[in-house]
């Protein structure tokens, strides 16, 4: 926000050496408030290379392991402190309503979906009611969520499958729930983790993709590969909560454009190349 001064480093002097390193790395990345040349003292590597920062960059990341257990533990601890009780933002009263809301949330916002679903579930109060209509009948009710034709087809198709193949109950098994029309791993993980309390995977949406890459927990842009990378380093009992915490963090502070790094509890653990404020070395590869 204009006119608001970013948080300054502590007066203890702990950040002073880091500030000099950050100044030397301006050739790798550009932060919102780059230091003046008079404030930065060139490091030996920079002096020896005629001002180039290539050597310094390699020195900064030498021996650095972004998925070291100690670093992962620190990230999880800080997320627990910042977002201790967060859960899925989609309003629902049962597994079927959560399934519908999650399907509708694709390429839409949770706020928008939450505006649509109260009337939708009043009009069609049960999974049987959804199974009894056609996709064309449902389209006007979900129009504002976008991609309404495909979503209507998925919702009605899933309802028919739940009624005809699973006795009207949303299955609580990954293999079975993935057979429902419109349900891929993201939707399945939301329903299984949030409603059934079964940690079968990690929800990977745009927030999780962005922040996981910024934190160097993955280098992939492919959701299935990102999920596999996260499942390897995040303890299984944390999979569901971790997803919710990262999603809330992405909405509150770590936005796609101009993340609020000065207020971020993970700031000195993050070396993202698109940070707006930093007290640590910047890694050119840490970007979404």
SS3 call for 217: coil
Which of 21, 57, 151, 186 does the annotation list as catalytic? Answer: 186
Distance, first Cα to last Cα, the chain: 23
Category of 264 on φ-ψ map: left (φ > 0), alpha (ψ -120 to 50) or beta? beta
Residue 251 to residue 154: CA distance in whole angstroms: 27
Examine the residue annotation and report whether 205 is marked as an active-site residue of this protein.
yes
Contacts (Cβ under 8 Å, ≥6 apart) of 9: 15, 16, 19, 279
Q: How far is CA 5 from CA 2, 153, 202, in A?
A: 8, 49, 36
Question: Which entry of 153, 160, 205, 238 is annotated as an active-site residue?
Answer: 205
- Whose tokens are 């780059």? That residue is 34
Asked whether 149 and 159 are in contact (CB, 8 A), the reply is no
Question: Rounded to an integer, what distance in angstroms lies between the CA atom of residue 43 and that of residue 37?
Answer: 13
Please enumerate in sequence order all residues whose Cβ is within 8 A of that of 26, keeping only pairs 6 or more positions apart, or say none: 34, 35, 53
Give catalytic status of residue 186 as yes or no.
Answer: yes
Instruction: Of 240, 87, 101, give the one whose Cα is nearest residue 158.
Output: 101
**8 A C-beta contact, residue 185 and residue 149:** no
Q: Which positions are catalytic?
A: 186, 205
């Amino acid at each position: 926000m204009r006119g608001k001064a970013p948080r300054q480093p502590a007066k203890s002097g702990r950040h002073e050496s880091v500030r000099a390193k950050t100044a030397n790395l301006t050739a790798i990345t550009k932060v919102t408030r780059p230091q003046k040349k008079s404030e930065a003292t060139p490091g030996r590597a920079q002096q020896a290379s005629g001002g180039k920062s290539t050597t310094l960059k390699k020195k900064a990341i030498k021996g650095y392991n972004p998925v070291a257990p100690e670093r992962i533990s620190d990230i999880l601890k800080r997320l627990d402190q910042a977002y201790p009780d967060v859960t899925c933002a989609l309003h629902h009263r049962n597994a079927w309503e959560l399934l519908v809301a999650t399907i509708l949330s694709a390429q839409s916002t949770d706020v928008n979906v939450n505006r649509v679903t109260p009337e939708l579930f009043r009009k069609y109060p049960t999974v049987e009611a959804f199974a009894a209509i056609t996709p064309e009948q449902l389209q006007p009710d979900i129009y504002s969520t976008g991609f309404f034709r495909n979503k209507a087809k998925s919702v009605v198709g899933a309802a028919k499958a739940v009624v005809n193949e699973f006795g009207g109950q949303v299955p609580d098994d990954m293999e079975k729930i993935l057979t429902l029309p419109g349900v891929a791993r993201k939707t399945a993980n939301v329903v299984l983790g949030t409603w059934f309390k079964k940690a079968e995977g990690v929800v990977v949406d745009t927030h999780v993709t962005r922040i996981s890459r910024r934190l160097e927990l993955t280098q992939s842009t492919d959701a299935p590969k990102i999920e596999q990378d996260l499942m390897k380093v995040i303890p299984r009992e944390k999979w569901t909560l971790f997803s919710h915490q990262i999603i809330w963090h992405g909405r509150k502070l770590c936005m796609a454009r101009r993340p609020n790094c000065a207020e971020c509890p993970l700031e000195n653990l993050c070396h993202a190349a698109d940070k707006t404020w930093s007290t640590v070395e910047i890694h050119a590869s840490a970007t979404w």
